[in-house]
Structure 1
Amino acid sequence: MTGADIDAVAAVRVRGWQSAYAGIVPQPYLDAMSAEEDAARRREYFARSDGRAENLVAVDGTGVIGWASHGPYRGEDARTGNGELYAIYVRPELIGTGAGRALMDAVLERAAERGFTRLRLWVLEKNARARRFYERAGFTPDGVEQDEDYYGTALAEVRYVRDLT
């Protein structure tokens, strides 16, 4: 990903949230999302990046169609050498076309090259489509759960893990 991709990535991310989390995350939270505001935040992150997080984009003839971000695990046991998939999204109309799978394959390859022996991720418990996607990619729940607050509503998240060795 380059700085020139930020607007497109923000659009993919916001549309991805609004599609994937409809009926799960409170609608006012989704309605309040803005690609322009997200792009401004991404520019800040990008400008002060220390290189720990790696952002990848999937492109086709129309431009950016997907985005993923990964880096060191941010949890309580962050010093273990585990990596974390922070986010992965494709344009909603391209779900099921293999774009997400290709992006996941690139993340898994890059994470292993970076020396991570395991990759973790958090997914909303009620996001059945995403959970199936992660399970098909070899991730399994490891029994750790947490709640995240979305617009005043606590939603359960499940941690998944995949060995990279």
Structure 2
Amino acid sequence: MVQVREMDEGDITAVSTIRVRGWQAAYAGIVPRTYLDAMTVEDDTAQRRQMLSRPRRTFRDLVAVDDSGSTVGWVCFGPCRSEVSVAGRTQTRMQIGEVYALYVSPQLTGQGIGGRLLSEAHTQMKDQGFEASALWVLADNRRARRFYERAGYEADGATQDDVYDGVTLTELRFRRVL
């Protein structure tokens, strides 16, 4: 059983390890190997420390901690970074939350940890007044797409392209009502 709590400075290295190893596992065969191999826990840790130290953060970080006290998952969420049209009207960023990142230790995927983190993120977004949640998923990441669809998300037709070591990959935006 995992407990979900607010991330603190003591979690940073574990979260960075989960994020980097998560990328390397989830995106193998999708994102160029050169890009994945260049990712380091040290670089990610430095970036995460800087982000966590911001005095006026608009995002929240939660971690999943197992019975032994080890950090085994992480979710980051906050206001949607773009406008989203719903039923013909444009909603502002403050009406829609966004899951920016969700990762679980690769050896623990499929054990409900990601679902637990996502559920708590939804609860907190709703408590903050968000009406819906959005997120972006690489089009070729079928496993993640199925996970989010089981959680009630649907692709809404929006796409964006990201370039990784010269390779353009398409992301799909998914959305659900909270």
RMSD: 1.1
1:79 and 2:93 matched:
yes
CA distance in 1: counterparts of 2:94 and 2:74, whole angstroms: 26
Runs of 4+ aligned structure 1 residues displaced above 3 Å come to 76-80
Q: Could you give the per-residue CA deviations for residues 45-71 of structure 1, whole angstroms, max 9, x where no partner exists?
A: 011151310000000015100000000
Residues 10-159 of structure 1: pairs in structure 2 closer than 5 A: 10-60=16-66, 61-76=68-83, 78-79=92-93, 81-159=95-173
Instruction: Identify unmatched segments of 5+ residues in structure 1.
Output: none
Equivalent position amino acid for 1:110 in 2? Q
CA distance in 1: counterparts of 2:77 and 2:13, whole angstroms: 19
**Identical-residue share of aligned pairs (%):** 49
Instruction: Identify unmatched segments of 5+ residues in structure 2.
Output: 1-6, 85-91
Q: Could you give the per-residue CA deviations for residues 112-147 of structure 1, whole angstroms, max 9, x where no partner exists?
A: 111110100000000000000000000000011111
What's the TM-score, normalizing by structure 2?
Answer: 0.89
Q: Could you give the per-residue CA deviations for residues 92-121 of structure 1, whole angstroms, max 9, x where no partner exists?
A: 010111111111111111111111101000
CA distance in 2: counterparts of 1:28 and 1:140, whole angstroms: 31
CA distance in 1: counterparts of 2:15 and 2:49, whole angstroms: 11
Of 10-19 and 54-63, more deviation after overlay is shown by: 54-63
Query: What is the number of equivalent residue pairs in this alignment?
Result: 164
CA distance in 2: counterparts of 1:79 and 1:65, whole angstroms: 30
- 1:139–1:42 distance in 2 versus 1, CA, 3 Å: same
